[in-house]
Amino acid sequence: MTTTAGNKEFWFPYIMWWILWAVVHFFLLQAFGVQNKIAFVDALVSNGLLALSGFITFTAFRFYMPGKGNYLYRIIYLIALPAICVFTTKFALQNIFFDNDDYLKFLESSQYPRYVFAFLMIALMGIVSWLRYYMLEQNENKKRKNDAEILLRDAELSNLRQQLQPHFLFNSLNSISALAGSEPEQARKMIQQLSDFLRGTLKKDDTQTVTLQSELEHLQLYLDIEKVRFGHRLVTEIICDDNAKQMFIPPLLLQPVVENAIKFGLYDTLDAVTISILAKASENYLELTISNPFDKATSKANAGTGFGLNSINRRLWLLFGRNDLLQTEQKENIFLTRIKIPQVL
């Protein structure tokens, strides 16, 4: 919190404000026929004391944030402080100009308007400081809320990222178990691939982006494992132009989409399944198209849903604040998932 009392932005306007009122005060007294010298001292003392009271009010309200029921104290404060202020002023001026009877009479008769003025000023200070601190607190709250949201978002992102399908892991381990008996060398290789894949999944940080090339390398590990599981049923092709390879992509975005396509393709048809991944560079975007076969007749109900794509959509929203980056399309017996990754990151 910036300290209100104590910085330049506060003091300059504050002092100017009281000088202005002192000048007004001076001319007002002059108009009532008070001598210049006396009017000057009166204006100085009155407004100086008010300025001091105002400052006290600012400080008091700062540490004594209103709002929680203690209105009575505040009202007493706002009535008493101007009274003290006016009385002190009167006392001081009576002592300075003890020999000027006309002025003393005038001083006595002007107590009431002086009090009203002091009250209004101090009430104004009270309101201004209350508003100011209220706003500061609101900003503080907003900032805190914002920070909390960012934290939550990060947590959500990392959650979405690490949504490793348990099916995949356990089935892979089962395959390894099968290979361990018949082809130990293959089993060892698959353990290696699975480890590399899992390590890659764990260490990535969502704040970074990676090149498509490194993401494709990671994907290849995954595809190799899936091919061991599904044998000849699964065929994959990756077409990627050289420009696209150097473009950026949030880590682990592609793999779940491909996983979804594989699941969709393999569980929706009986024949061999070709999953193709096409990457293209366009202006400001990396465009990815993932296609898998599906059966129009039976999967109408599931098309375009499924956890895989929902979480991808959510991630894209959290990262780029856009909902239009993922599109799906059905062409004959092919299901297409199109993703555009903005390159202004």
Partner 1 sequence: MIKTILIDDEPLARSLVKEYLKSYNNITIVAECGDGFEGVKAIAQHKPDLIFLDIQMPKITGFEMLELIDEPPAVIFTTAFDAFAIKAFEAHAVDYLLKPFSKERFEKAVNKYLSATDKTKTQNATNEILQSTNKHYEEQNRVVVKFGGNIRILNAAEIFYIEAYDDYVKIFTKDDYFLKKKTMSYFEDTLSQNDFLRVHRSYIVQLQQITKIEPFEKGNHVALLKNGKKIPLSRKGYSALKDKLGL
Binding-site ranges for partner 1 (CB under 8 A):
166-167, 170-171, 173-179, 181-182, 228-231, 233, 266-270, 295, 297-298, 300-302
Instruction: Provide Rg for the chain, Cα atoms.
Output: 38
Supply the minimum distance, in Å, between the C-beta of residue 267 and partner 1: 5
Can you tell me the distance from the alpha carbon of 272 to that of 232, in angstroms, rounded to the nearest whole number? 7
Identify which of residues 109 and 174 has a Cβ nearer to partner 1 in the complex.
174
Identify which of residues 36 and 174 has a Cβ nearer to partner 1 in the complex.
174
Identify which of residues 87 and 170 has a Cβ nearer to partner 1 in the complex.
170
Identify which of residues 33 and 166 has a Cβ nearer to partner 1 in the complex.
166
Beta bridge partners of 281: 286
Identify which of residues 128 and 178 has a Cβ nearer to partner 1 in the complex.
178
Identify which of residues 108 and 295 has a Cβ nearer to partner 1 in the complex.
295
DSSP per residue, 23-73: HHHHHHHHHTT--HHHHHHHHHHHHHHHHHHHHHHHHHHHHS---SSTHHH
Identify which of residues 69 and 166 has a Cβ nearer to partner 1 in the complex.
166
Can you tell me the distance from the alpha carbon of 317 to that of 322, in angstroms, rounded to the nearest whole number? 5
Supply the minimum distance, in Å, between the C-beta of residue 173 and partner 1: 4
Q: Which amino acid is at 329?
A: E
- CA angle centred on 160, ends 156 and 162, rounded to 5°: 115
Distance from the Cα of residue 211 to its chain's centroid? 27
Supply the minimum distance, in Å, between the C-beta of residue 259 and partner 1: 14
Query: Measured on CA atoms in the order 23, 29, 35, 39, is the torsion positive or negative?
Result: negative
Supply the minimum distance, in Å, between the C-beta of residue 273 and partner 1: 9
Can you tell me the distance from the alpha carbon of 337 to that of 314, in angstroms, rounded to the nearest whole number? 15
Supply the minimum distance, in Å, between the C-beta of residue 264 and partner 1: 11
Supply the minimum distance, in Å, between the C-beta of residue 314 and partner 1: 21
Supply the minimum distance, in Å, between the C-beta of residue 178 and partner 1: 4
Can you tell me the distance from the alpha carbon of 89 to that of 82, in angstroms, rounded to the nearest whole number? 10
Helix (H, G, I), strand (E, B) or coil at 208: coil
Supply the minimum distance, in Å, between the C-beta of residue 131 and partner 1: 50
* Residue 87 near residue 58 (C-beta atoms within 8 A): no
- Side-chain-facing half-sphere of 296: CA atoms under 13 Å: 6
- Side-chain-facing half-sphere of 94: CA atoms under 13 Å: 10
Can you tell me the distance from the alpha carbon of 12 to that of 201, in angstroms, rounded to the nearest whole number? 58
Token pair of 297 as six digits: 């007749």
Identify which of residues 251 and 256 has a Cβ nearer to partner 1 in the complex.
256
